[in-house]
Structure 1
Amino acid sequence: MSTTPDKQVTDDAPVAVAPEPGPVSQWLSQQGFEHELLEPDHVGVEQIAVEALFLPVIAAALKSHGFDYLQCQGGYDEGPGERLVCFYHLLAMAEVTEGGADQVREVRLKVFLSRDGQPSVPSLYGLFRGADWQERETFDMFGIQFEGHPHPKRLLMPEDWTGWPLRKDYVQPDFYEMQDAY
């Protein structure tokens, strides 16, 4: 039997092995927060899936646990007909800047959304002011609404633009001017 990091292969068929919970997942479990453990990313950053409804509570708990900096918020499309993903990359910066740690702790929260209807996530603007333009850009490119955001309008595209340009099922108009003509 041979073993790879994400699968165990037997003589019959490969068997998927669940990822081991990292320190953030273990802490969330101890605190009673439900979440789904995802595979770490390509550089080993712990990734955790949370339900949209619980995102603000879990993010607030993580902030109180030292994750005081929202490094990046964004979105991506898994493919035509697939889910949209909203992610938040959090860092524990104060530990490093105050000399209490040699390495930055980091975690990425992911919210998986159906593209049907109007996908929405509660805004983290009240918790991390840096989410302002990042959430607006994610709305502008993917059409994910951020409930409670103080300025929910397009950031990159004109206000009258139709569609969400970074969705993989987006059909680009032949000419930008044609869209304004209607």
Structure 2
Amino acid sequence: MEEQTTQSAADGQTAIELVTGPISDALKARGLPHELTGLDNRKIEIIKVEPEHLIAVARALYDDGFNYLACQCGFDEGPGDSLGSMYHLTKLSDSADRPPEVRIKVFLPRDNPRVPSVYWIWKTADWQERESFDMYGIIYEGHPNLIRILMPEDWVGWPMRKDYVTPDFYELQDAY
């Protein structure tokens, strides 16, 4: 990861600006649109991808050896803001002491949160995408069995959204 130090003439303070990262560079070399948004506390690249480019980026990362989807989750930026789907990928191998990792984030409009499913690349996305659908209402297009996994089938709404209003009463039918 390269960093560039810049100094502001106005206040004399120094800032570090992120220039590039090896995974982002590999995606850029393939002509895949994305944005490197920074590093997490473990120096893992966080890459933002538009929904229409997710499958191309995911396939490229899989082809580069990122063979394990360690985590997929949905998230809510806040009431009125976007929803998101995050993918934490790892390049597993027999000899890797600290395998390379990358985090992909896809931001989605709250009123129509649709993103292609990565199930066909990493089968571990199956239940993880279903949970994000169940809790946030994110539609994973192409998922083979996108149904609720935690909430009852007739549940109304998406309980992990920050603007969710908890119902005063929910009748459990056929619970006896």
Q: TM-score, normalised by structure 1?
A: 0.85
Structure 2 residues without counterparts, runs of 5 or longer: none
Residue 105 of structure 2 is aligned with which of 110, 122, 126?
110
1:63 aligns with 2:62: yes
Residue 132 of structure 1 is aligned with which of 122, 126, 137?
126
Tell me the distance in 2 between the aligned counterparts of 1:90 and 1:67.
Answer: 6
Residue equivalent to 1:84: 83
Greater CA deviation, 17-26 or 54-63? 17-26
Tell me the distance in 1 between the aligned counterparts of 2:105 and 2:117.
Answer: 14
Where do 1:150-165 residues align within 5 Å? 150-165=144-159
Q: 1:160 to 1:35 in 2, by over 3 A?
A: same
Amino acid at match of 2:157: G
* Cα drift, residue 174 of structure 1: 1.5
* Cα drift, residue 21 of structure 1: 1.5
SS at match of 1:121: strand
Amino acid at match of 1:166: M
Amino acid at match of 1:126: W
* Cα drift, residue 7 of structure 1: 8.6
SS at match of 2:19: coil
What is the total number of aligned residue pairs between the two structures? 170
* Cα drift, residue 44 of structure 1: 1.5
SS at match of 2:98: coil
SS at match of 2:47: strand
Structure 1 residues without counterparts, runs of 5 or longer: none
Greater CA deviation, 169-178 or 50-59? 169-178
Tell me the distance in 2 between the aligned counterparts of 1:76 and 1:49.
Answer: 14
Task: Looking at secondary structure, tell me which structure has more strand per residue.
Answer: 2
Task: Looking at secondary structure, tell me which structure has more helix per residue.
Answer: 1
The 8 Å contact of residues 6 and 16 in structure 2, kept in 1 or not, is answered as yes
SS at match of 1:57: helix
Q: TM-score, normalised by structure 2?
A: 0.88
* Cα drift, residue 31 of structure 1: 1.1
The 8 Å contact of residues 5 and 14 in structure 2, kept in 1 or not, is answered as no
1:24 aligns with 2:19: no
* Cα drift, residue 89 of structure 1: 0.5
Amino acid at match of 1:106: E
Tell me the distance in 1 between the aligned counterparts of 2:125 and 2:105.
Answer: 15
